[in-house]
Structure 1
Amino acid sequence: MKKTNMSITWLLVASFINNFAAGFIWPVTTVYLHNNLQQSLITVGWVILANSIGQAYGSILSGRLFDRFAPYRLIQIVVALMIATQISFILFHGWPLYALNLTVCGFLSGWILAILNAYGTRVVNVDGRFVFNMLYFTSNFGMVFATALVGVIFPLGIVWLFILSVILYVLLLLVVKVHFNLTFVKKETDQATTVAPLSEWNRRIIYVTIGGLVVLWIAYAQWLGNLSVYMTDTLHLPLWQYSMLWTINGALIAIIQIVINTLNLSTSRRAMWIQIFGGLLMFGLAFLILPFAKTFTGFALAMVVTTFGEATAFPMIPALVNELTPSYLKGRYQGLAAAAPSIGRAFGPVLGGFVIEHQGYQTLFYGGSGLVLITFILVLATVVSGYRYVTEYNQPVKSKK
């Protein structure tokens, strides 16, 4: 018998499995393309750009289709296609087919992420902010597990990573088939407004905050690429110290999210704004620490500050989007929110590399802080000016633990 409400437990299980599987692919991309397939770093950058653009397009398309077609069929189709892509990785992981597979994989992963977020809007017995906090927690938890295993498995051969990924996506398909078959019924309040466009201030705040998320990911993308080069080539720090930063990142995200959800902070609107604006400030502050970081301790401090910003701001933006959209538009705007990280990852390394090449790392750090500060002011001004005029579509409920 079909259900009308999504189970938060199985949504989080699906999110964990999806990111556990994805975590076997992206951490080794740069190393495998450069060291094993002998491609230049410029070529690697273009491949990562194609992967990120594929993710963004997949998220946007998935969100729009979610509102128009049967979500249950859409998610089954995309997971099945992802299984086929992982099998293709096993069979064809040379150049240039690896790059082609990676682009397709990016498109499908963006699709899955957006549709999982859209399903998150159908969890009605738990506050939406709690749902998106937990989605972010489980996605990072799965990624941490995967990256910890990658270092052990990759020396045995990259094929083993793809085999494990196939197994996990098959498991995800089983979870989807059993627990994601919902009947989507619009609320009466939404049925009366299906022909009316989203109000001007709802749209304005949504687009400005999603734009802010893009900027945060442009900043965060420097940690994923350019900072590793700066630490190892410029400062001659060992690679294990850069890897240890991500161990700190993963552990701290888990701690922060556990505290937020244990104290039930996510159901407070004031806490939501503190998380969004506090997160923006943290990202800006971290970039002001980096010019003075010359040892592992300095970079670890900057990573701790960045992680506080990441763990607080990132999950709250899709939660805010959920509150400002009616049911018939949730897929579209969750797709845009899910595309924001991909856009930031796509253009962040390119912009950072351009600044580094022409002005150096110090300009990158100070410029990044300034860009985040401008974004903070823009988001704050927009929210203060217009939030009183928005229409809210989701009333918070007490989280059930």
Structure 2
Amino acid sequence: MRANVPQLKLKWLFLGYLITNTGSSFIWPLTTIYMHEYLHESLTVAGIVLLFNSLFMVAGSIIGGRLFDTWREDVTILTGIVLVTVSTGLLIVFHGWPAYPLLLIVSGFGNGMTVTAINGFATRVTSKRASFIFNVMYFIQNLGLVFGTLAVGFILPMGITYIFAIAFIMYVLFLGIAWFEYRGKNRPNKARASKQKTKLHLERPVLAVLLTLVLVWVFYEQWQSNISAYMLAQGLTVRDYSFLWTVNAVLIVVFQPVLTFLDDWLTKHLHGRLYFGFVLLAVSFIMLIGAKQYFLFVASMSVLTLGEIIALPAVATFVDQFASQDQKGRYQGFVQSCASLGRAIGPLIGALLIEATSYRLLFIAATVIIILSTGLFGLSNLPSRVREK
């Protein structure tokens, strides 16, 4: 059946993913600053808006995955891109209250559909191993984040309208690429008709790795929310905190191609790669317990980043091994929605835990919970056998 599936060229897959991640990086990092400083809303309100944005992204991922498998793959991604493009275009004119949060939520839903569909198309490419493709896509995702956040720093002083206008132009460009290159890249009608007979059944290893992914993102999000306040309380500066993300970006840009080069070896040791990466993520929080000197924060961020690039791209590869040909979109939708769910609830969970106890207990909880969930994932793998393709 695979031989009859029209192939999407890798360059269009990667370019679409770069545009999507760069465009979204123009918008979401501004939410808290824009709502608090320009719309004069409280930080709590900004947090609630971000929560709903992430939740609608989860919904978009799940629905997009379902539509990708049971409807038309090209129409699914075009629908997602249109939603993001239209909502971003409207933000150029309507970026007051309550239009801004409402359009942001629509954009999140469309973005969830789009990213899931791109991942679905990635599983169809047969010219390269799936693990290689997901490694490159993870690199591109972070490259888009670097491009977007750096550009915002230069463009925002010119006015918020320019931010939305540039993001809108980028999405229009992707819509054109999708219309000419993604359209028609569907499975044969016979395959689409038969897939509705297949019941969705997530095996224990898949459930375990998805649970671990949610928990990892819950605690990873502390770096983007609560740890900044912790660093300031230790006498460090905002510039010190910002530099940590430069370290994060540099390590990803340097080491992700190395992992891609070692793809064959890493694929043979996929389970070990996941275990090692998750453990590194847990260890990064051990290093924060009692941290006061800046070098400890740099070291922790370095270990966190290495764990991130080792484990997180491998989750999509691992889950794909369990997906039948007619369920690949839904499986990738689960990966995207679990990551979005962790990002959505992470800042709130961290804030509640800190207020009830302390930062120290937050770091201990992060270490213990990630280790325990990794152990659960390991136990679930013992009796498993990956389905033959």
TM-score range, shorter chain: over 0.9
Greater mean deviation of Cα atoms: 160-169 or 241-250: 241-250
Aligned residue among 314, 336, 339 for 2:337: 339
Q: What are the equivalent positions in structure 2 for 1:229-248 lying under 5 Å apart? A: 229-232=229-232, 234-248=233-247
The one of 173, 183, 186 equivalent to 2:186 is 183
> 1:195-344 to 2 correspondence within 5 Å?
195=197, 197=199, 203-232=203-232, 234-265=233-264, 268-270=267-269, 272-344=270-342
Moved over 6 A (4+): 190-194
Q: 1:239 to 1:120 in 2, by over 3 A?
A: same
Report how far residue 194 of structure 1 moved: 7.1
Per the TM alignment, residue 208 of structure 1 is displaced from its structure 2 partner at its CA by: 1.2
Aligned mates of 1:151, 1:195 — CA distance in 2: 50
- Cα distance in 2 for partners of 1:184, 1:128 equals 18
Report the Cα offset of residue 264 of structure 1: 3.3
Displacement after TM superposition at 1:91 (Å): 1.0
Distance 1:261 1:55 in 2: 28
Q: 1:293: how far off?
A: 2.2
Q: What displacement does 1:7 show? A: 1.7
Any unmatched runs of 5+ in structure 2? none
What per-residue deviation string (whole Å, max 9, x for no partner) do you get for residues 356-400 of structure 1?
00101111111111110111110011112x223x3132xxxxxxx
Letter in 1 for 2:304: T
Structure 2 Cα separation of the partners of residues 30 and 245 of structure 1: 20
1:38 aligns with 2:40: yes
Q: How big is the alpha-carbon RMSD for the aligned residues of Structure 1 and Structure 2? A: 2.0
Q: CA deviation at 1:246?
A: 1.1
Q: Structure 1 CA distance, aligned partners of 2:24 and 2:308?
A: 19
Residue 269 of structure 1 deviates from its aligned partner by 2.3
Deviation (angstroms), 1:316? 0.8
Q: Is the 8 A contact 1:187 1:327 kept in 2?
A: no
For normalisation by structure 1, the TM-score amounts to: 0.91
- 118, 141, 164: which is aligned to 1:162? 164
Distance 1:314 1:184, change over 3 A: same
TM-score normalised over the length of structure 2: 0.94
Counterpart mapping for 1:142-153 below 5 A: 142-153=144-155
Counting matched residue pairs gives 385
Contact 1:137 1:254 in 2 (8 A): yes
CA distance in structure 1 between the partners assigned to 2:208 and 2:345 by the alignment = 18
Quote the Cα distance in structure 2 between the aligned partners of 1:310 and 1:40: 32
Residue 351 to residue 266, structure 1, CA distance change in 2 (3 Å): farther
Which residue in the other structure is 1:396 paired with?
Answer: none
CA distance change for structure 1 residues 278 and 187 in 2, over 3 Å: closer, same or farther?
Answer: farther
Q: Does 1:391 align with 2:376?
A: no
Cα displacement string for residues 284-305 of structure 1 (whole angstroms, at most 9, x for unaligned residues): 1011011232233211111111
- Check 1:266–1:146 CA distance in 2 against 1; reply closer, same or farther (3 A cut): farther
Helix, strand or coil at the partner of 2:288: helix
State the alpha-carbon separation in 1 of the partners of residues 264 and 158 from structure 2. 44
Q: CA deviation at 1:195?
A: 3.9
Structure 2 residue aligned with 1:81, among 83, 88, 106?
83
Instruction: Provide, for residues 242-263 of structure 1, a one-character-per-residue CA deviation record: whole Å limited to 9, x for no partner.
Output: 1111111111112121101123
Would the aligned equivalents of 2:130 and 2:317 in 1 still touch at CA under 8 Å?
Answer: yes
Residues of 2 paired with 1:191 and 1:254: CA distance?
42
Which one of 325, 332, 349 corresponds to residue 351 of structure 1?
349
Paired AA for residue 387 in structure 1: S
User: 1:82, 1:112 → 2: CA distance?
Assistant: 9
What is the identity percentage for the equivalent residue pairs of Structure 1 and Structure 2?
A: 34
8 A contact 2:60–2:111 mirrored in 1: yes
Aligned residues of 2:26 and 2:167 also touching (Cα < 8 A): yes
Contact 1:325 1:392 in 2 (8 A): no
Q: Is the 8 A contact 1:252 1:307 kept in 2?
A: yes
Q: Is the 8 A contact 1:277 1:376 kept in 2?
A: yes
